[in-house]
Structure formats: C-alpha cells, structure tokens
Structure 1
Amino acid sequence: MMNVKKITIHTIELQLKNPFVTALGKVENRPFLISEVEFECGIIGWGECSAFRLPWYTEETTETCRYALSTFLIPAMLNQRNFQHPDELSKLTSQFRGHHMAKSCLETALWDGYAKSQNKPLYEVLGGTRDQIEVGIAIGLQTDKPTLLKKVEGAVEQGYKRIKIKIQPGTDIDVIESIRETYPDIPLMVDANSGYTLNDTDRLKRFDPFNLMMIEQPLRYLDFVDHAKLQQQMSTPICLDESICSLDDVRTAIELGSAQVITIKMSRVGGLSEAKRIHDLCLKNGLRVWAGGMLETGIGRAHNIALATLDGFTIPGDISASANYWREDIIEPEIIVDRGSIHCSEQAGIGYDISRQILEQHRTELQIYT
C-alpha cells in the first residue's frame, strides 16, 4: 500500500543549448512542472509535466496543467491517498476529461514510488523485457542544408540507430535527397508536425523513393480520415504522433487504416498506464510503436527509457543523451548514449537521483500540498 503524505510541484525553466525548431514553432527556454510525491514510508517518487508554455503542440500549457493539478487532480489524489498500484490513479482521474499532461505529472511520480517500494527498477515493474534500448535522435529545422548535414554527420558518428529530421513544405524533398546522397542506408525518418494537407499528396508521394522508415504526422492532428486516404496513396508508412492522445484515438486509427506506426508519448496520453494499454493494443493489431520525446528533463527521459523496454517498441525512440539539449540536467548521473544504446539502470525506480541543488537553481515557483 502506497500512502501519499505530501505532494510538491516544482516549476523550473531550463534553457536549451540550441533552439529546437519544428513546423509548429521554436523552443529556446523550456518550462517544466516537476512532481515530488512523498509517501508515509519515506519513499519519494518523481514525475514531470512536459507541456509547453503555449498551446502550439497540444491544447495544454504549463499554466493549464498547474491549474488542473492544484484545482482537482491533486485534491483527488490526496482525498484517496492510499494506492495499491499506479493503475488506480488513472482510474481515479478518468472522471476528469482531458488534461493528459497534468495527469501524467502525478501518475509517473506514483509509478516511480511504486517501483521503489518494490525495490525494483521501473522498467522491470512495467513489464520490460530488456535492460538496454536502442535510441534515435531528432534534429530540428536548420537554417541551411550544410548545417543540417553537419548535424546528421554528428548523429551518425555518435552511433544513433535512427535519425529523424523535421520538415515543412519547401524544406523537404531537396533536404532528404541531400541526406540520402551522403547516407543512402541510414535509418531515416521525417517529421512534418502537421505541416501538410491532402492538397500536398503529389508532393508527399515523391518521398517514396527515398526508403524512409516513416513520415510522422504529415496532416493535422484531427485528420484521421485524411491520413487514411493519404496512406492508401503512399508506400512510405505514415506514423501518427499528435493525433494519439488516448487508447480510443488508436482504435480510431486502426479501424480507419490511418497509419502503420504509432508514436507513444506517455505525457501526451496521461501517463505510463495508458501508454502500456496503447502499446498492447498496437502489438495485438500489428502496428509498430516507438517512444517519442518531448524535450524532457532527465526525469521524463528516465520514465521514457523504462517504457521503451516493452516488447512492442522495436523502433529506436527519441531518447537522446541529456547533453544533446541541456547544459546541465536535473538528474545524476546524466543520461548517456553509448553507440546508439542506453543501458537501463538497475537502481530502484527511475534509476537516477535528482540533484536538488540544480533543481532549486532553476526553480521559479514552489507549491506544497498536504
């Protein structure tokens, strides 16, 4: 039995080493809500809310998540307080529609605490079957092709098992062609971040000869029907990302034939319990899955690493090294990629310690709930 004693929400802000640019916008300073859940037994679980400052990626923002947490999610958790298993929290908060990233902030901390109470690594209590994972890297839109090619070269030299580049109309075919001329065989995929419409079908079909692993989210996030129409005309697998916020979204995609691949982002679907359910459904129906990244701190990355050890995650996820994005991460030790792989920590819970010094250094607000 896990008895919740106190919940602390740390608001922090980290500056990226370099701006991360997609078709949706540019990120330079990254806000986070870090959840610290203390249990009566003395165990502390850590979670993270990965919402952005503005609603350009999802409708949730740092402020809407703070409101949801303080107004109804944390009170609901403290009203129950006692949990046998983290799945109980997702059932409890299902009475509140949406607010997936806010829910994930608490649920991931409960999973960390639960694994620590079992004295087991998080990946093991989740049902993971391997103690290391292969990972890929995401490269944002660049100012010119030479800069992009230099970043791709660096990723190849570091041994990443899959490279993803961001694209948008007008910065796509020539860029892919340049990469393929230099690296004809690397596992390469592209991410459109909803930058196209069905009117661009002829252009998108020109991607097929480049032997891409997939094109991620070419159309708007609500366009399940249009994605199905596009997939029928392309041999390149379509991967849905922003479209997938719940198990029901995956059911819709399967019924319509909207995609061949699904990106699972635990924070966007409400936490690890829902992410596991999505993984199981995709595995049952023959859809490939991989763990997507949200420019997380080491806390979010550690949870993502554990998720990616499940059987269905056969595509390297967006879980690159801490040093690729942050001058200093808030975990110790930082996450390190060794020739395209991350070795899972055997330490109980997420497997990493939190540096309170660095956490406090970057903290802008603090709320405590008892």
Structure 2
Amino acid sequence: MNISRIVLRHVAMPLKSPFVTSFGTTTDKEFLLVEAYDEQGLVGYGETTSMTGPYYNEETLKSNHHILRDFLIPLVLHKTIQHPDECMELFHPIKRNNMAKAALEGAIWDLYAKQQNVSLSRAINGEKSRIPVGVSIGIQPDITAMLKQVEQFVAQGYQRMKVKIKPGADIDVMAAIRREFGDIPLMADANSAYTLADIDHLKQLDEFNLMMIEQPLGHDDIIDHATLQREMTTPICLDESIHTVDDARKALDLGSCRIINIKVGRVGGLSHSRAIHDYCHDRGIPVWCGGMLESGVGRAHNIAITSLPGFTLPGDTSGSDRYFDQDIIEPAVTVQDGFIEIPTTPGIGYNLNHKRLDAVTLFSETYK
C-alpha cells in the first residue's frame, strides 16, 4: 500500500460520568484520531490512548501530536508498505512513544484489512466469533455508590468486575462487594498505588478469592512484584511494567506475575500486541486486553486483538454506552449476555459517524 495522505484530528468526547483512579479523575476523553488514506481513497482509522497528562505513563496528548507530526508520519507518508508488520521495524529507531506508534500503526492495519477485503480480526489471524467482556469501575465516593455500580453491571451481564483501588479505598470495598454479590468474577486494579511497605495490607486481599490484583506496585517494576507475588496467593497481573516481549519474559522468569494485561497502545500497536500474546500463549500464561476509555475506533482495535486464542480472560472492552452518550462509530459497540460479537466486515467493522465526529473535533491537520 502507498500512504498518500494522513489526517490528525484532536477529538474531545465528554464522559457520561467522571472516571476516578488512584492517579486522578477523568471527565473528558481527549485523543488524536489518525486517518490514513491510500491513493484510491480508502481510509484506515486509529486513535491515541494517552492521557492529557503524564499520569498513566510518560506520554501525553501533546507529546503524541509532536511524535506523530515530526517523526512517525514522515516515516510512512508516500512510502510503499507491503504489510503493517513493517511498522515495527520502521518505528524501531524512535524510542518508546508507544501510544503514538500504535495510533498510526492501527490506522495502517485498518487500511490494509480494507484493501484485503477482510476484517481486522481476520487480518491479524484472530479465531473467535465473539469475546467475553468485563467492565472497569472507577473509585467511588463511598461503598454504597460502588455497590450500586457493581449491581448495575452485573445486571447488564458483564462477565468480570474490575474495581479500581487505592490506600483507604481497598479492603473494605472488596469485602463489601463479596458480602453483597457472593463469588462473582472480581479483580482489583491498583495502578501502582502501593509499595512493598504495604505487603501485609495487600495480603488481606487474599481472603476475597480475586481473579487477580493488577499492577499494585511501581509502574516500571518487576523486582518488587516478584517479592510480593511470593507472599500472596492472589495472582498478580502486570500492566504498566510490560511494553515488549522481553519485558514479559523477564517478568515471568522472575515470577513477578501470573497474568499479563496487553494494552494495544501501551505496547506499541497490534503487531507488538500479537507478539506478546504469542509468547505468553506458548508459555501457558493467560492474557487479557485492558482499556483506556477508548472511543469506538480504539474499542474496535481492542475487539480485534482479543479475537486471538490466548486472550482467555474477559477484558475491559465494554460497550460504547459504558462511557459515552454517543460514540463516533455506528453501530455502537454493544454487549449481549456478556459478549461482544466480532465484526466480519472489512477493517475495524464499524463506520464513522462523521456528523458526530465533526461535532467533537477541536481541530484537524492534513499531511500529504
């Protein structure tokens, strides 16, 4: 394929309600939508998953814009690319900045799938026709509010509840959920809110029979997590610490975790996601797909990657109505009986609602 034109849109979509984690509160989802066009006018879509500030990782919306505009787009514009996997090598000289890379690579993957007249899932060798999904619940003002949230999502059929925790909003919250809802599939996500000094406190989570606790310690740590995992029966899942296959290998060899969360943006795109999946699948390590409050475009990419066979645990790819009154795709992503059907039409399988997209676009730039 020859990339003849690329458009970047700065999009801001209000969330239905604030999303609270240990590192702050999000009220609007801002991202860059990447549109990659070929010479025949076909277009592929990708989106950045960074936050506006460097709180999840070092990337921000503004840094993504800089890296895309000044470094990544020039590497692919008017270049002949036979297959999206080539982006791994093309982008390799640019250190980190994985969310910027993933957005552009995702647009190229979508364009490639449309050119091949296959679904994105089929293009990356996905096997499933539908995927089980869970939901991520932010920190609530009090336990009563948390129980209402869990009740709502259990009623909607979500197959796993992920609850954000932090010091002061953890043990009592999980205990209340267990008392109220029994042995539902339940996990905790700490977003690096603890240290090894909290080891005795964290060990109290073992009594709740959790599926896992996600990234309890430092965002770049694999050493202390190994110490903590030896002391806990609850499986540790690593998120922020894993960017490459080598990171996964080191963490698993050290015993730092028993599960890995693969976020397409965090690891640099679909090709890298598939490589980490393949490595973990060969070692018998379960993986699942995490979310970053994506719009329907990023959500579609998550659905596609989750179609690979090693994604055996429900991910965070909830329906569009979980976060937005109106998404930028049509039809919206919907959950039926705890599952999302994987689109079979070419590319990401959803159309852009251009009227809605224009309404939430703050500015756009064209590179040609």
Q: CA deviation at 1:182?
A: 1.4
Stretches of structure 2 that go unaligned for 5 or more consecutive residues are none
Does structure 1 residue 64 correspond to structure 2 residue 32?
no
Paired position in structure 2 for 1:227: 225
Q: RMSD of the TM alignment (CA)?
A: 0.8
SS state at 1:12 partner: strand
Distance 1:37 1:334 in 2: 22
Does structure 1 residue 290 correspond to structure 2 residue 288?
yes
Which amino acid counterpart does residue 369 of structure 1 have in structure 2? Y
SS state at 1:63 partner: helix
Query: CA offsets, 1:160-205, max 9 Å, x none?
Result: 0111001111111111111101112110000001011101111111
Query: CA offsets, 1:94-148, max 9 Å, x none?
Result: 0111110000111000110111111111111111111100000000000011110
Distance 1:222 1:33 in 2: 25
Distance 1:293 1:29 in 2: 15
Which amino acid counterpart does residue 120 of structure 2 have in structure 1? L
Paired position in structure 2 for 1:260: 258
Stretches of 4+ moved more than 6 A in 1? none
Q: CA deviation at 1:257?
A: 1.1
Q: CA deviation at 1:318?
A: 0.1
Which amino acid counterpart does residue 364 of structure 1 have in structure 2? L
Of the candidates 152, 156, 159, which is equivalent to residue 157 of structure 2? 159
TM-score by length of 1: 0.98
Paired position in structure 2 for 1:85: 83
**Residues 97-246 of structure 1 correspond to what in structure 2 (within 5 A)?**
97-246=95-244
Distance 1:246 1:68 in 2: 20
Distance 2:158 2:185 in 1: 9
Aligned length: 368
Q: CA deviation at 1:61?
A: 0.2
Which amino acid counterpart does residue 144 of structure 2 have in structure 1? P
Paired position in structure 2 for 1:38: 37
Paired position in structure 2 for 1:340: 338
* Structure 1 contact 3–41 (Cα < 8 Å) conserved: no
SS state at 2:141 partner: coil
SS state at 1:182 partner: helix
Which amino acid counterpart does residue 248 of structure 1 have in structure 2? D
TM-score by length of 2: 0.99
Q: CA deviation at 1:42?
A: 2.3
Q: CA deviation at 1:222?
A: 1.7
Query: CA offsets, 1:58-94, max 9 Å, x none?
Result: 1000000000011110011115x21111001121010
Distance 2:339 2:308 in 1: 15
Of the candidates 314, 324, 328, which is equivalent to residue 312 of structure 2? 314
Higher mean alpha-carbon deviation, 5-14 vs 249-258, is at 249-258
Paired position in structure 2 for 1:24: 23
Which amino acid counterpart does residue 244 of structure 1 have in structure 2? I
SS state at 1:86 partner: coil
Q: CA deviation at 1:256?
A: 1.2
* Structure 1 contact 288–313 (Cα < 8 Å) conserved: yes
Distance 1:310 1:168 in 2: 32
Which amino acid counterpart does residue 110 of structure 1 have in structure 2? I
Q: CA deviation at 1:255?
A: 2.0
Q: CA deviation at 1:286?
A: 2.1
Which amino acid counterpart does residue 75 of structure 1 have in structure 2? P
SS state at 1:120 partner: coil
| Percent sequence identity over aligned pairs | 49
Distance 1:223 1:333 in 2: 40
Distance 2:168 2:141 in 1: 13
Distance 2:361 2:115 in 1: 28
Distance 2:343 2:221 in 1: 39
Q: CA deviation at 1:248?
A: 2.1
Stretches of structure 1 that go unaligned for 5 or more consecutive residues are none
Paired position in structure 1 for 2:366: 368
SS state at 1:277 partner: helix
Which amino acid counterpart does residue 14 of structure 2 have in structure 1? Q
Q: CA deviation at 1:41?
A: 2.6
Query: CA offsets, 1:220-255, max 9 Å, x none?
Result: 112210000000000000000111122222122122
Distance 1:25 1:287 in 2: 31
Which amino acid counterpart does residue 68 of structure 1 have in structure 2? I
